[in-house]
Structure 1
Amino acid sequence: MPGKALILVENLSVPFDRRVWQECTTLRDAGWEVHVICPQGTKRDTEPEAVIGEVRIHRYPLKAATGGPAGYLQEYGSALWHTFRLARRVGPVDVVHACNPPDLLFLVARMLKRRGAKFVFDQHDLVPELYLSRFDRGEDLLYRGVCALERETYRAADVVIATNESYRDVAISRGGKRPEDVYVVRSAPAVERFRQVPPEPELKRGKPHLLCYLGVMGPQDGVDYALRSLALLRERRTDWHAVFVGAGDTFDAMVELSGKIGLTEHVEFTGRIPDDDLVRYLSTADVCLSPDPLNPLNDVSTMNKIMEYMAMAKPIVSFDLKEARVSAGEAALYAPANDEQVFSELIGQLLDDPEERSRMGKLGQARVEGPLAWRESTKALLAAYDGFNPSGNHSGQ
């Protein structure tokens, strides 16, 4: 019978973390008693304790890192201390389910394993690749430390949950996990969050077309590539307005860059906005942008923005990344990796072809409502949990 599960998250609050919240509600619906330990949000999820839909959430204060690796060491140290503190308060559990980054939560999992818990490692990011892609420091001492922490996390885990087949391959090859102990639980948009509303032409600021970017703005997310591509597009045509929805470490730098390259009149930065406003922009958009450049992390990662664009039946322009193609298929046009000129040309190509935009959008929507829907992921998630039999042995897939 289902028991008590504790989910550990460090980089987002819950239920703001959509993937983790989907996992929580799936496990709850399957009969598990679900607890979550996560940081408090700044504008939402601010309460230290909350019970939402029978899921018990324990939150701690956390100041996000600024600057380089030293800032992250301070953030992660604080998060780890609070997580240990709150895990003791929650008490014994049957399963501890740790979501990375960082690859430090195995330390809490080890403590709980000594009390009889099983450890599920939910690998949201490949942290060694994230380090290489974010800091551009090469394989230095910190990189080797990051790799060591990943190895220890794999070693401690009874089961690994991977977000796609590329991550699963890493868990088996680099992590040394048995194939039957690694489950692919793909992230999927909450389709109830993405329901089209009538387009609002005024969002286009007097232009015929609206381009939209949705997502985090960090060093590895490619917003600078998108802006430079739009500067190239502006040289050929000015019949578009672009909106960038989201925030992150490089938000201010991207606003500054847009001014430097002469896009102030063409580009709007909204920051994070409520879901209702997000849906208004996406419903009005003609083309959506996924400018994540080719790097060690992006090539093998599933981009949430792509899934969300498809949920809204929008055509996409992306760089040619392995997992971008797996997710979007024919719902996107692909520029050669990091080629801003071709990226801008593909945007223009779609702006000139409304029938193709409609066809691609419908294909993408069918994918997220069919083979890429969360209901497909729930099967793998519950299989990972159901595999723990009373004797403590994992029965495999």
Structure 2
Amino acid sequence: MPGKALVLVENLSVPFDRRVWQECTTLRDAGWQVHVICPQGTRRDTEPEAEIDGVRIHRYPLRAATGGPAGYLREYGTALWHTARLARRIGPVDVVHACNPPDLLFLVALLAKRRGARFVFDQHDLVPELYLSRFDRGKDLLYRAVCALERLTYRAADVVIATNESYREVALRRGGKRPEDVFVVRSAPAVDRFRRVPAEPALKRGRPHLLCYLGVMGPQDGVDYALRALAALRDDLGRTDWHAVFVGAGDTFDAMVELSRRLGLADRVEFTGRIPDVDLVRYLSTADVCLSPDPHNPLNDVSTMNKVLEYMAMGRPIVSFDLREARVSAGDAAVYAPANDEREFAKLVARLLDDPEERDRMGRVGLHRINGPLSWANSQRALLAAYAAAVR
């Protein structure tokens, strides 16, 4: 029988974290009483307490990390303290559902388990691979520490939710979990959020084509690869018939604006920061080609990129580097450049700009996949099955 679930999130506010919000509303619709603990946002989700569509949200102030690993230790320590404090206030629950990163939230779950709760570990990221991809420090002491925390999280979890089959394999192999205790709940865009509107030629700034990037801008997200590919598109391939817009924010945002300037792209590359959904849909509806420049590294190769799914939901063709899970998600809705080869990435952009029929075909493929095998309805069934297993 449904009971009381406590969802723990550290790296985004809710409902801004779309995956977590979809999970919360799915559980609510299944009869669960849902509480969420998460950080406050800076421009949205700023209230300390809110009840939205029947989901009770408890937020705490959190300063984003700066200054490398030491900054993350400060951020995570603060978040853990606030999360434990708010969990005590909420009281006993039937399920603690912790979404990483970081792999520290199991400590709050262990306290709840002493009172009879079950622990669902929702693994959004492979933190050891994230550490290797984000910090150029190799397998040092901190790397060994994050590996140990992942092992402890797996050990504490009654059920693991993986975002794709690659992550599920890690939970079985590295986490030692039983197959019947690991469920794949794929991320999927909310299709009611991504509905095309008429294209606006003015967004192309007087040029024939619009290129679009949507997503976080962190060290592992490849915005620098995209900018260098666009410089190659202009300089090596002689293409000046495009304008590009980069939608999103992150801790390398300022550095990427500066890189664009150094590459001489400031007159044709626009950085919007985070924007309302209505404006995001305008850009994606107008875009001719969407960019997924995440470079090949231990994390990206096995991770599902939300931007790819969102491009597909808008029926947009995609240029991506050749990553294992990118192919699983996009299939023929994308074309794939050899890993981290910026010039080949640029060539594929040029090829699609010259082939509107191929762009339309790829867009239809993406829409079919999002509305079929990759739909949130399939993920909802898997999520509820995971909860049923946790409380059995």
Q: TM-score range by the shorter chain?
A: over 0.9
| Structure 1 residue aligned with 2:53 | 53
Distance 1:175 1:302 in 2: 20
**Aligned positions of 1:49-88 closer than 5 A:** 49-88=49-88
Structure 2 partner of 1:140: 140
Aligned with 1:85: secondary structure? helix
Alignment of 1:4-19 (within 5 A): 4-19=4-19
Paired letter, 1:333: V
Which structure 1 residue ranges, 4+ long, deviate > 6 Å from structure 2? none
Q: 1:386 Cα shift?
A: 1.3
Residue pairs, 1:95-114, within 5 angstroms: 95-114=95-114
Q: Tell me the amino acid that sits aligned with residue 253 of structure 1.
A: A
Aligned pairs for 1:17-28 within 5 A: 17-28=17-28
Q: Distance in 2 between matches of 1:118 and 1:136?
A: 37
1:288 aligned partner, one-letter code: C
Tell me, what secondary structure is at the counterpart of 2:192?
Answer: helix
C-alpha distance in structure 2 between counterparts of 1:291 and 1:68, whole Å = 23
- What is the Cα deviation at residue 388 of structure 1? 3.8
What is the aligned partner in structure 2 of residue 372 from structure 1?
374
Q: Distance in 2 between matches of 1:83 and 1:387?
A: 25
In structure 2, list runs of 5 or more residues that go unmatched: none
Counterpart among 331, 339, 342 of residue 341 in structure 2: 339
Does 2:203 correspond to 1:203?
A: yes
Per the TM alignment, residue 247 of structure 1 is displaced from its structure 2 partner at its CA by 0.5
Measured against aligned partners, the alpha-carbon deviations of 1:188-246 in whole angstroms (never above 9, x if no partner) come to 00110000000000000000000000000000000000000000001211000000000
Equivalent residue, structure 1, for 2:224? 224
Q: How does 1:238-317 map to 2 (within 5 A)?
A: 238-317=240-319
Shift of 1:48: 0.5
Give the equivalent residue in structure 2 for 1:330.
332
In 2, Cα distance between the equivalents of 1:272 and 1:388?
A: 36
Counterpart-to-counterpart distance in 1, 2:324 and 2:68 = 28
Q: Which residue of the partner structure matches residue 357 of structure 1?
A: 359
1:62 maps to a residue whose letter is L
Quote the offset at 1:131 in angstroms: 0.2
Give the partner amino acid of 1:26.
Answer: T
* Matched residue SS, 2:146: helix
CA distance in 1, matches of 2:389, 2:134: 36
- SS of the residue corresponding to residue 27 of structure 1 reads helix
* CA–CA distance in structure 1, aligned partners of residues 313 and 87 of structure 2: 36
SS in 1 for 2:339: coil
8 Å contact from structure 2 (residues 159, 389) kept in 1: no
Aligned CA RMSD, in angstroms, stands at 0.6
Partner of 1:381: 383
How far off is 1:309 after superposition?
0.2
CA distance in 2, matches of 1:250, 1:67: 12
Return the alpha-carbon distance in structure 2 between the equivalents of residues 228 and 328 of structure 1: 23
Match of 2:192 in 1: 192
Contact kept? 2:158, 2:390, Cα under 8 Å: no
Q: Which structure 1 residue ranges, 5 or more long, are not aligned? A: none
Aligned residues of 2:289 and 2:353 also touching (Cα < 8 A): yes
Q: CA deviation at 1:10?
A: 0.3
**Aligned residue type for 1:217:** M
Once the two structures are TM-superposed, the CA of residue 153 in structure 1 deviates from its matched residue by 0.1
Distance, in Å, in 2 between the alignment partners of 1:96 and 1:250 is 33
Using the alignment, how far apart are the partners of 1:19 and 1:80 within structure 2? 21
Return the alpha-carbon distance in structure 1 between the equivalents of residues 202 and 144 of structure 2.
51
The alpha carbon displacement at 1:387 in A equals: 1.9
Partner of 2:163: 163
Percent of residue pairs identical? 82
TM-score of the pair, normalised by structure 1 = 0.98
- Cα displacement (A) at 1:11: 0.4
What amino acid is aligned across from residue 181 of structure 1 in structure 2? Answer: D
CA distance in 2, matches of 1:247, 1:387: 37
1:293-352: CA deviation from partner (whole Å, max 9, x where unpaired): 000000000000000000000000000000000000000000000000100000000000
Structure 2 length as normaliser, TM-score? 0.99
> Secondary structure of 2:350's partner?
helix
- Report whether the alignment pairs 1:124 with 2:115: no
Q: Which amino acid aligns with 2:292?
A: S
Residues of 1 paired with 2:53 and 2:273: CA distance? 29
Q: Secondary structure at the match of 1:359?
A: helix
Cα deviation digits, residues 168-190 of structure 1 (max 9, x gap): 00000000000110000000001
Aligned residues: 390
